[in-house]
Chains A and B, each alone.
Chain A
Amino acid sequence: MSPRTPTRTEPGPDDGARHDTHADTADGAGCDAYDDVPHTVVADIAGLGVRLPGGTHLLHPAHATVHAGRITALTGASGSGKTTLLKALLGHLPPGATTDGTARVLGHDVLRLDRATLNRLRRTELAYVGQDPGSALNPRMSVRRIVAETARDRTRQGVEALLAECRLPLGDGLPDRRPGALSGGQQRRVALARALARNPRLLLLDEPTAGLDPALRDEIAHLLRHLADTRGLAVLMACHDPELVGACADDTIALATPGTPVQPPADPKPARIPTDGKPLGKRTAPRIGPIDVRPLVEPVAAVEPEHHGLAAHRITVTFGTGRGRRLALDGVDLTLPAGATVSIVGPSGSGKTTLLRVLAGLAVPDSGTLTLDGAPLRPAVRRRGRDRQRRIQLIPQNPLATLNPSRTVGAALARPLALHTRLTRGARTARVVELLELVGLPTAFTDRYPAELSGGQRQRVAIARALAVDPDYLLCDEITSALDPDTATAVMDLLRTVCAERGTALALVTHDHHLAADYTQTVHVLTDGRLTARGDTATLLTHTTRVVEKP
């Protein structure tokens, strides 16, 4: 099968044993002719592709049919356009986007529908629950009003029946609370209740179980199954979770990842619900198979601070005050020996960036100590003194903001030299040229502004800027997460080479285990602000070809 052609397996026999008919997309094997159960087509997508004005593809032309009473799973790597497809079925496209093909929902060509009809369709026949349903609920309305707003039956009984159907407890005053007072799982089910309140014919779900534990996930799967069976609801869900697909999907549609780089959407607010290792909104293109971390049997023991290196000892950081207060880091140790390479990995919200910022002196910990070559290091970078400031440098994450848009590349590279060296103006210019050559950029780039550079080029300039002062420790925060795979590899290879040549120690924060495995010797795994594993990357991060079984 061509990687660009989405495939759809035929539904398995409709004998009630749906849980084992979940399709394997590889070959469409096992597709029997099904019984003469009437299949109403609710939505039909024919060659639908979505492109941004710049020519980047959000969705490569895809085909899909969604039937009443059946659950269809939409799979594919992040960036393959699952969300774009779901929203296109609602008649919603990103501003300026152009489309190929058609999307028909209940007989309407939704992308060419007038506003009034489209709104009526959204209001009565379709329902969409997004990836982060908690933020999609109006924080200033009670659960009861949230559900009643779109309901056909707005009576107290009607609303409570819906909440009960979505297995929400009614006894402890939940209907009168606001979304902020609910747990993540409850918010998700309230969003589902609001969606079902209009009695829709097509339910669109984006990652309905992201961030939920297995028990809750099974419960959601049962609920969806129940709704499809009893209400004859057509469900289309974008899902990367094979367990859920296996548990309840009748059909599976796999989307191909567009070849053209897609601008990642702005990262949503840091999830209070840590996702299960899935980087939200970040583009990853696994080059090898999935990786899992071997469970740690022994708790991580505290290490003695080393005498040569940058070390953090028992670092604790809290954010917020009062009730919103939460631990970002809880007694974390980390040592970056001179000349070594260390990575910090973990899901988003696990505190890995915070840990790096503590080392950098940009975040001040509530407790814990920092040492540099065994001597205490002030937590705030401002107070560390000129030479120590020089020795530790940071390469920031976002290539768009890593360079000052108002200053040329030459000015950006000359400034650290002016601050930390006694070079004359002429010598500085010569050194800027050397630095550009070092990171593989043409010397003519000195007069360019960041807007005239690509993301990879900007990160190269950022590396050159950090290296200009000849640091001993280089801290890198997700520096390749917004770059396409080839550029990311080139940038990382460059970083490895220059650090090895100069004996610069490298600390790498990343959500990408491959990156950690390929470029660092030691890995630290953070989960929920705690260090859950530490050790040699070769032994701790093992390459496997299948997704690990959930316990």
Chain B
Amino acid sequence: MTTTATSTDNGAAAPTRPGRRRAARRALPLLVPAALFLAAALAGPWLAPHTIDAPVTATYAAAGDGALLGGDQLGRDVWSRLLHGGGELIGCAFLIGAAVTATAALLGCLAVLRPRAGRILERAADVAILLPSVLGIMLVALAWPDGGRWAVITAAVVLGTPFAVRVVAAAAAPLAAAGYVEAALMRGESSLSITVRELLPNLRGTVTALFGLRFVEAVYIISTAAFLQIGPQPPEADWALMIRENAPGILLNPWAVLAPSAAVALLAITVNLATSALAPRTQAVTSA
């Protein structure tokens, strides 16, 4: 592929607005579950019948009898703890997702407009690929013992950004050869201005999908960290922590493990399906 090719044969054009509306309608059935689940998880603390640290029943008591989902390892109400346990996870995941997406959107466009910066960012992604995120989080948590949640958030942002930059750069590359970007270069616009005015408005689909993906990834990282007891500490109610704490009593009261597991899984799944609905469609296959 030569430079001439990219400069002369660019067919990149945003879908027309009616087309966008049609796509939105198709995506709706996949967006609603995510919205409902997020709303329920955030409203949870106000709906909980008990506080998170008051024992109300026997250790690993079975479901029913004043505790909808039974008791946990200290006889606390699993249902109440479940309702409390989502807010912070969702909040942190949102923060990580937003930070990674915003950084990647800017850096990804910069990588395309400035090839030299692009090569450096590409190398950074090569390096980041070699560090499993779980190990990365352990490292940060170790080196920053009092970091708590912030250590996890920092680690997740640093580790997630290089990959996200690649995604944005790949989507922005064809746009960078579009006539309107070249016209902007010709009149002397700065890279930041081109990014904000010309590129990002046409990358809405990619950026939205990226945010969803990073949110899901953040849920994975935060919950895994919590499971490894990095971040939230007992007696906090946290879904991942609940899974770990109640695992020994899984036979006595399976709900104490199953309910938080299902909550984490549902959070990730609903958001991921919503993301896939918002993602720009790949070209339909035209079969002969």
Contacts and interface: CB of A to CB of B under 8 A. Distances in A.
A contacts B directly in the complex (CB < 8 Å)?
yes
Nearest to B202: A406
Given A270-B5, A320-B2, A363-B3, A386 B179 contact: no
A451 B180 contact: no
Interface residues of A, number: 54
B66 interface: no
B186 A392 contact: yes
B183 A397 contact: no
Interface string B198-222: 1001101000000000000000000
B26 interface: no
Contacts of B2: 270, 319-320, 328
B90 to A, nearest CB: 30
A547 interface: no
Given A403-B180, A404-B180, A405-B202, A361 B186 contact: yes
Contacts of A402: 179-180, 183
B9 interface: yes
Contacts of A390: 187-188
A397 B178 CA distance: 9
Contacts of A412: 180
Interface stretch (A206-214, A239-247, A414-422, A496-504): A414-422
Given A266-B9, A401-B180, A449-B17, A389 B3 contact: no
A349 B208 CA distance: 38
A395 B284 CA distance: 32
Given A269-B1, A415-B197, A451-B16, A393 B187 contact: yes
Contacts of A550: none
A396 B11 contact: no
B3 A319 contact: yes
A187 interface: no
A406 B186 CA distance: 19
Contact of A362 (B7, B180, B201): B7
Interface in A432-477: 449-451, 462, 465-466, 469, 477
Interface in A347-375: 349, 351, 353-354, 357, 360-363
B7 A353 contact: yes
A266 B11 contact: yes
Given A95-B286, A353-B7, A354-B4, A465 B183 contact: yes
Nearest to A350: B4
B8 interface: yes
B126 interface: no
A381 B185 contact: yes
B201 A398 contact: no
Contacts of A95: 284, 286
B171 to A, nearest CB: 14
Given A449-B17, A466-B183, A407 B11 contact: no
A362 B182 contact: yes
Contacts of B5: 269-270
Contacts of B179: 396-398, 401-403, 462
Nearest to A407: B201
Given A404-B202, A405-B202, A394 B17 contact: no
A360 B184 CA distance: 12
B14 interface: yes
A132 to B, nearest CB: 14
Contacts of A401: 10-13, 178-180
Given A95-B286, A354-B4, A381 B183 contact: no
B120 to A, nearest CB: 18
Contacts of B182: 360, 362, 394, 396
B47 to A, nearest CB: 41
A466 B185 CA distance: 12
B8 A478 contact: yes
A39 interface: no
B2 to A, nearest CB: 4
B197 A407 contact: yes
Given A401-B179, A477-B8, A389 B288 contact: no
Interface in B9-27: 9-14, 16-17
Most chain A beta carbons < 10 A, residue from B187, B198, B288: B187
A92 interface: yes
A328 B4 contact: yes
Contacts of A15: none
B188 A381 contact: yes
A353 B4 contact: yes
A543 B121 CA distance: 55
Contacts of A363: 3, 7
A298 interface: no
B189 interface: yes
Contacts of A357: 3, 7
B260 to A, nearest CB: 42
B187 A451 contact: no
B4 A389 contact: no
Contacts of B10: 398, 400-401
A243 to B, nearest CB: 29
A400 B185 contact: no
Nearest to B174: A401
Interface in A376-399: 381-382, 384, 386, 389-390, 392-398
Nearest to A352: B4
Contacts of A354: 3-4
A463 B204 CA distance: 28
A349 to B, nearest CB: 8
Contacts of A396: 178-180, 182-183
A152 B259 CA distance: 63
A396 B197 CA distance: 18
Contacts of B187: 389-390, 393, 416, 419-420, 469
A36 interface: no
A267 interface: yes
A270 to B, nearest CB: 5
B21 to A, nearest CB: 13
Given A362-B185, A420-B187, A400 B201 contact: no
Nearest to A317: B3
B286 A394 contact: no
A243 B101 CA distance: 60
Contact of B186 (A353, A393, A407, A449): A393
A412 B3 CA distance: 26
B282 to A, nearest CB: 15
Contacts of B13: 400-401, 405, 450-451
A319 B185 CA distance: 22
Contacts of A406: 14, 201-202, 204
Contacts of B286: 95
A320 B1 CA distance: 8
Contacts of A270: 2, 4-5
A357 B2 CA distance: 13
Contacts of A392: 186
20 contacts: A267-B9, A269-B1, A270-B5, A319-B4, A353-B7, A390-B188, A393-B183, A396-B179, A398-B178, A401-B178, A401-B179, A402-B183, A404-B201, A407-B201, A415-B197, A451-B13, A451-B14, A462-B183, A466-B183, A477-B7
Given A400-B13, A416-B187, 16 more contacts: A266-B9, A269-B1, A353-B8, A381-B188, A393-B183, A393-B187, A396-B180, A397-B7, A398-B10, A398-B178, A400-B11, A404-B178, A404-B202, A415-B197, A419-B189, A462-B179
The 5 A-B pairs at the shortest CB distance, nearest first, are namely: A396-B179, A389-B188, A406-B201, A405-B14, A402-B179
